[in-house]
Structure formats: C-alpha cells, structure tokens
Amino acid sequence: MIKNWMEEVQKTRRSLRSNLLETVLNEFDSRITGLNTEKRKRKYRQMAENPFRFFRGSAYLFYYDVTKIPFSFHTPEKKPTWIQGDMHVENFGAFQNNEGNIVYDINDFDEGYMGSYVYDLLRMTVSIALYCEQYGFEDAEKRMHVFLEAYYKQLKKFVNGKEDPVTLFFTSENTKGPIRKVLKKSEKRDSARLLERWTTNEGNTRLFKPTEELTSLSQKEKEKIEAAWQDYIASLDKEDRKKTEFYEIKHIVRKNGSGTASIGLDRYYILIEGKQDCSHEMDDIILEMKEARAPIPAYFVPYNEEFWEKYNHQGERVVTTQKAMHHHDDPFLGYVTIDNRHFYIRERSPYKKQIKPEDIENAEEFDKVLEVFGGIAAKVHARADADIEQALLDYHSEEEILKAIGDSYEAFSTQLVFLSNAYKERVKQDYVLFCGWLNYKFT
C-alpha cells in the first residue's frame, strides 16, 4: 500500500500546531492567570463563537507568532513606542473626558507596554480583516489600507507641526459618519442614566441593584477593599484629588460578564458619595476596580528593565498608560494592592458607547470609521512620549516611526497588509483546531 504522504504531512502540521495551541493556552490561562476549569470553559465558549472572537481572546498567541516574523519597518530596539498592546476594532469607544467633552478614543489600556509600533498596527489590521469577513464588509485589503494611510498622514501632521497630539481629540465636530452619530447620541445622554441603570434609590440611600452582572461579595472582600481605600485616594493626582468625604464608599458589588480576555480577573463596581461642597443633589459616582496582570506583549517583545523598575505595580502601569495616551485623563484614575494583587480604578463613564456592526451601513461608512481609528492610533503613539512628565522616552515616537517608514510608505503598507492577510488565514485555521481541542478537552 502506497502511503499518502500529502495527508501525512498535513496531519503532522495540524498536530504540531494543535500541540502549540494547547501549550500556549495552558501556560497563560492556567499557570499564569490561574483560571480554574469552569472559568476556562466560560472563556473558551466565548472564543469559540467565531474567528474574530477567538482572535480577541488569544492575544498571547498573536504575540508568540508575530514577534518571530521579520518586518522591514521596525523602529530601533532602543527606541520603542509606548504601545496600547491590544489594538483591535472593538477597543475604541466614546466617553467623556475631564474637560467635559464627549470624545472617541482608545478605551482599553490593560496591555500597555514598550515595544514596536508595528505590533499595534498589525494587530489592528488583522482585526479589520477578520471583522470584514465576520460582518460582510467587502474588500478587507482596501479597508486595511484606509486605516494605515490615516495613521501615516496623522503622524506627518504631528511631525510637521500642523497638529499637536496633546491637544488633538476626536469629537462630533471633526468626525463623520457612524462615529459622529454615536458621539451625537452620547452627547444627548443624561449623566444620571448610568445610575438609573445600575442602582436603586430608596429614601436617601442609593445602592446597586442585584443582577446577574452585579452580585454581592463576601464581607472579607468588602473589608479588604475598604482597608485599601486610603491608598487609592493617595494614588490620585494631587490636582485631581478632592476631600476624603468625596470618595466615601456607599456600596460595593462584584462585576460579572467581563470581556473575553478579562475572564478570571476580579472586577468590582464601587459607588462613592461624589457630593460637592454645599450640594444637596444626589451626584453619586460609579467607579470600576479591576485586577491587572503583567501585559501580554512583555512576554514576547524585548525586555525593558527601565520600564519594569518604574512600573512594577501593574495597576500603576495601566493608569500611567491611560494618562500617557489620553490628553485629558480620568480624574479618578488610581491604583491599589490587595493580597499582593494589583488593581486599577477608574470612573465607569455614563457616556461610554462604541460602534457596532449594525451602525455601519456599508464599506464606505466603515472607511469613515477606520480613518478616525487611524488618527487615534497615531495620536496615542505620538502622545505617549516626552510630552508627559512621567515619560521614559527622551524622543518623539512619531519622528522615530516616520524615520523607520522613510520614503517607502507604499512598501510599508503593502508588506503589513500582506502579513495581516496571511495571519488572518492562520487565525481561521487555529480557530478550527481550537474548537476541536475545546470539544475534546472541555466537554
């Protein structure tokens, strides 16, 4: 009998990749994050919904793969960019900054780290390719080029002094299409809407409503959070800090139903007094407290000892990343340590909203969204450098990135889109292997 070597080769390739998937998943979800079997099942069921969701929940696999791929346009290793670390289509959204403006910007900073800007762009363009395929938008390559061109043009505006990354922000005044519509809707929202959704006010006492998403915590957990609360207040920027009574805790609940990548990390909603001097209004504020771990890119990109010396506290790292990338940061940004675990705290914005697939009528409308996303990506890379007091960088990232691209933008964008398309296919193949592994190991 003649052996079918083609089938044998394919079988071996699938087996080796499946073994790699299992190794990486076990390392990050079991050993590092410490998810038990039930939490892993819950995370993996979400990842099994479609290839895009699988991609969102497996950033560690992405970095394991792409940091081994040669690319011609990296900045020098000694001149990294402060990257967002998990840039994809659904990590942008609308919220209110501390100047009172409703803006559209990056809204997730858990994976912030120092590394090549290329990894943010590549993760974003792969997500665009998967998003287009998932939701039926034609010509994904063109959509990726729209994002990259907007990024490149915005960087040049910064370097040429036409715009300033510190003062640029995206509002209903300088955006078009679906994003402008979302911002307009957010501007009409009542700030009390979030309180009405999550809390009930009986007499003079406001408490969280018990739901599947908001559940009670043990007395011991509550006492630990309360014991660390003064440390949180002390971590706030002095110019933002108010009197201690302003931060008085009224109620704490556990927040369930976190995003795919955040399953297994403790998250709480904390209702604070928020009352201004001489005010008799109910102006309570909801804060979100979330556990932070070492950023995924740190396991794969070049080690940055100076960064770790300065930001060994993972809550502080997340907070500082948000401050670095936002021109007007959340005045409630702070961090604490509880039982040797790191947490960061921020306001749960009543204006939080993001673009959904049903908000985008066609590919042309999607282009308007991606043009803004490209501008935002350029802004956060350029913003998080020597412009901030806490910066580790003594150079401007936008200048170094443009030097790396040089006069070869077409080659840069072509190479990046080619890699993105290739990796999109890798994700789809991994998704099939993952679903098979999931049915075998977690039934």
| Strands in 7-108 per DSSP E | 81-83, 92-96, 102-106
DSSP result, 136-199: T-S-HHHHHHHHHHHHHHHHHHHHTTSS-TTT--B-TTS--HHHHHHHHHHHTS-TTHHHHHHE
pTM as predicted: 0.93
Judge contact between 143 and 363, C-beta under 8 A. Answer: yes
pLDDT in tens, the chain (443 residues): 556 777 888 889 999 999 999 999 999 999 998 889 998 998 999 999 999 999 999 999 999 999 999 999 999 999 999 999 999 999 999 988 777 788 999 999 999 999 999 999 999 999 999 999 999 999 999 999 999 999 999 999 999 999 999 889 999 999 999 999 999 988 887 777 888 888 998 777 889 999 999 999 999 999 999 999 999 999 999 988 899 999 999 999 999 876 777 777 899 999 998 876 555 455 789 999 999 999 999 999 998 888 888 889 999 999 999 988 986 678 899 999 999 999 999 998 888 888 999 999 999 999 999 999 999 999 999 988 755 555 678 889 999 999 999 999 999 999 999 999 999 999 999 999 999 999 988 87
